[in-house]
A and B are shown apart, each in its own frame.
Chain A
C-alpha cells in the first residue's frame, strides 16, 4: 500500500476529478487540511496516509462557505474507491476525520484564506492556509509528541501567530487541564512569553 506522496497529490486529485466525471458525479469543492494541504502548498513536504476533508465548500458570489457533511455522496465515495485502487492508497485515504471541527468552530476568516486549486471540470480543492494550519496543528500537538509537533515547528510560527493560535485553541477546549497542557507545551517549545500571558 502506498501513501500520498507530495509529488503525486495533484495527480491523485486530477484522477479523483476524472472519476467523478466518469461516474456521473457533480462538480464539487472540498476544503482540505492536514498533511496533504501542507505538502500541496509547499509548507511542509512530507508523505501522508490520507487526505483530511473539513467539509464541502460552497461558492457564494462574494464568499466561500464551508459546510459540514457527515458522509460523502455515494458517487464521490465510489470515485474515491476507484482512485484508491488505481494508486494503491489506504482504505480511507479520503476521509472526513476533521469534519467535526466545522461545527466546533473554525479560526476566524479561515474561508477567506483558503487557497483553491482546480482539477478539471469536477473538482476544486480548497487548501487551508499556513496560519490556519498553525491553529489546527497547535490544537493537535498540545498533548502529543508526534508528527503534529514536527509539522507545527516546521511551519516556524512567529510569536504573534502562535499567540493567535493559542487563543483559538483555548476556545476549543476550555478546561483548566488543557490550559495547563498548552502552557507547558509553549514553554517547552520556546514560546514561554505567550505561556505567561494566557
Chain B
C-alpha cells in the first residue's frame, strides 16, 4: 500500500522521538516510555541527536538538558565535539545545516549556567542558522528551568554498558574501544577510531598498552595490526553482565534519521515527493549500512524513477525505526 507523505511524517517523527525518550528514560529521565532493553545506549550520540531534533519535542530537549546538568560528569566532551562535527554538515540538496554549531554553543552555555563544573569552550562563528531556528532554540535555552524530572542513571542496566565502563575506566576512549572489541572479533586502530569517534593515535596507544598487558591479542596484518579482546566471557562476568545487549553505531544511525526528520520539516519540501525521493537517494549509502545491520531490505532506487522512490523508501525508513524501537 502506498504511504502518504502526511502519514509518513507523523509515523516517522513519533517513532524517532519514542527512541529518544526510551534512551533518556533508561538514563534516568521521567517519562511514560518503557526503558531500552535491546540496544546499548550511546550517550554522546543521544545528546547531539536530541539537540538536533529537539525543536519538535521541547519537553524532550529540556529533559535532556536537565539530565546533562545533573549527570554531565558521565559525558565525554571531546567525543561529543567530534560527533557535533559530523552533525554540522549541510543537509543534502539544501543550504541548511543539520545542526548549526551555534546551537551546540547554546547547549554548553545553558549547561555552564546551571551545572557545578563548567565547560570551557570557544564560541563558534562559522555559520548562521537560517530563519527562526536559532531564535527558537534561544527561547528554549534562555527560559530553561530545572523541573526535577531526572534521577541518577542505574549503571547495572545492561543498556548503560557505556556508563558502567566509564565508571570503571574513567571518561576516555577505553570504554568505546572495549565495547567495540566486545562486539567485534577484532579491529585495527583506524577502523576502531572511525567507528567510535576518537583520535586514531590515541586509540593505537591504548591498544598497544593493552597488548602489552595481554588484555588484547595483536594480530599483525601487513602494516596495520588488528587487535582482538582476550577472555571476553570472563570480562563480561566480572562486570556482572550475563549477556550483552546489541551494539549499534547510534551516531551514524541518528545522523541519517535526523537528516530525514529535518528534510520532512522543511516547508518547501514538505509536499514535494520528488525532492524527498531525491534527498533519500542522497542518503542511500549511509542508509544501506544501517539497514544491513538491522536486516532491513533497501528498495532498489533504479526500479522507482523520480518521485516513485518516496513511498518504498518511506516504508523502509519506518521499518528501520520499528527495528530500533523493538522490545527485548
Stretch in A17-25, A61-69, A163-171 touching the partner:
A17-25
Please report which residues of chain B, range 277-328, place their CB below 8 angstroms from some CB of chain A when the two chains form the complex. 277-278, 281, 301-302, 305-307, 309
Cross-chain contact A88 with B93 (CB below 8 angstroms): no
A156 to chain B, nearest CB (A): 33
Q: Are B306 and A15 in contact (CB under 8 A)?
A: yes
Cα distance A170–B93 when bound, in Å?
A: 48
**Is B139 located at the chain interface by the 8 A CB criterion?**
no
Q: How far is the CA of A171 from the CA of B6 in the complex (A)?
A: 59
Query: Which B residues between 133 and 168 are near A, CB-CB below 8 angstroms?
Result: none
B95 touches A18 (CB 8 A): no
Establish whether residues A23 and B93, one from each chain, have CB atoms under 8 Å apart when the complex forms. yes
A12 / chain B contacts, CB cutoff of 8 Å: 306
Are A11 and B93 neighbours in the complex by a CB distance under 8 Å?
no
* A85 CB contacts on chain B under 8 angstroms: 281
Q: List, in ascending order, chain A residues with CB within 8 A of B274's CB.
A: 11, 14-15, 18, 86
Instruction: State A87–B328 Cα separation when bound (angstroms).
Output: 41
Expressed in whole angstroms, the Cα–Cα distance for A82 and B93 within the complex equals 9
The answer on a CB contact under 8 Å between A86 and B93 is no
The one of B94, B95, B272, B281 in contact with A86, judged by C-beta atoms closer than 8 angstroms, is: B281
The number of residues on chain A lying at the interface, defined by a beta carbon within 8 Å of a beta carbon of chain B, is: 16
- List residues of chain A with CB within 8 A of the CB of B80: none
| Pair B94/A87 contact, Cβ less than 8 Å | no
In the complex, chain A residues 60-113 whose Cβ is within 8 Å of any chain B Cβ: 82, 85-88
Docked-complex contact B95 and A88, CB < 8 angstroms = no
Residue A8 is within 8 A (CB to CB) of chain B in the complex: yes
Chain A residue nearest in CB terms to B269? A22
Interface residues of B in 250-283 (CB under 8 A from A): 272, 274-275, 277-278, 281
A196 to chain B, nearest CB (A): 50
The contact string, 1 if C-beta is below 8 Å from chain B, for chain A 1-44, is 01000001001101100110011100000000000000000000
- Chain B residues near A11: list those with CB within 8 A: 274, 306-307
With both chains docked as a complex, state the minimum distance between the C-beta of B275 and any C-beta of chain A, in angstroms. Answer: 6
Q: A24-B95, A82-B93 are in contact. Are A19 and B305 (CB under 8 A)?
A: no
Contact between A87 and B306, CB atoms less than 8 A apart: yes
Query: Would A88 and B278 be within 8 Å (CB), given that A18-B272, A24-B95, A82-B93 are in contact?
Result: no
Give complex CA distance A14, B278 in Å: 13
CB distance from B261 to the nearest CB of A (A): 18
A14 partner residues in chain B, CB cutoff 8 A: 274
Across the interface, name the chain A residue whose C-beta is closest to B278. Answer: A86
Judging by beta carbons under 8 Å apart, are A82 and B305 in contact?
no
Report the bound CA distance from A87 to B278 in whole Å: 10
Residues B306 and A8 in contact, CB atoms below 8 Å apart: yes
Chain B residues near A8 (CB-CB < 8 A): 305-306
Q: How far is the CB of A22 from chain B (nearest CB, A)?
A: 5
Min CB–CB distance A131 → chain B (angstroms)? 32
Per-residue CB contact flags for chain A residues 171-198 toward chain B (1 = under 8 Å, else 0) read 0000000000000000000000000000
B-chain residues with CB within 8 Å of residue A18 when the two chains form the complex: 272, 274-275, 278
Which residue of B94, B302, B305 is within 8 Å of A22 (Cβ)? B94
Q: Which residues of A contact B93 (CB under 8 A)?
A: 19, 22-23, 82
Residues of A within 8 A of B277 (CB): 86
Chain B residues lying within 8 Å of A82, measured Cβ to Cβ, are: 93, 278
A82 closest partner in B (C-beta): B278
**Contact between chains at A19 and B306 (CB < 8 Å):** no
A109 to B305, CA, bound (A): 38
Q: Smallest CB–CB gap between A27 and chain B, Å?
A: 16
Q: What 0/1 pattern do residues 70 to 100 of B give for CB contact below 8 A with A?
A: 0000000000000000000000011100000
Closest to B305 in A: A87
CA–CA, A2 and B308, complex, Å: 15
- Nearest A residue to B284 via CB reads A85
A12 CB to nearest chain B CB (Å)? 8
Q: Which residues of B contact A23 (CB under 8 A)?
A: 93
Neighbouring B residues of A88 by C-beta, 8 Å: 301-302, 305
Instruction: Report Cα–Cα, A119/B94, bound state, in Å.
Output: 20
| A74, chain B: closest CB distance, angstroms | 15
Give B residues with C-beta under 8 Å from A: 93-95, 272, 274-275, 277-278, 281, 301-302, 305-307, 309
Could you show 23 A-B contacts with beta carbons less than 8 Å apart? A2-B305, A8-B305, A8-B306, A11-B274, A11-B306, A11-B307, A12-B306, A15-B278, A15-B307, A18-B274, A18-B275, A22-B94, A82-B93, A82-B278, A85-B281, A86-B277, A86-B278, A86-B281, A86-B306, A87-B305, A87-B306, A88-B301, A88-B302
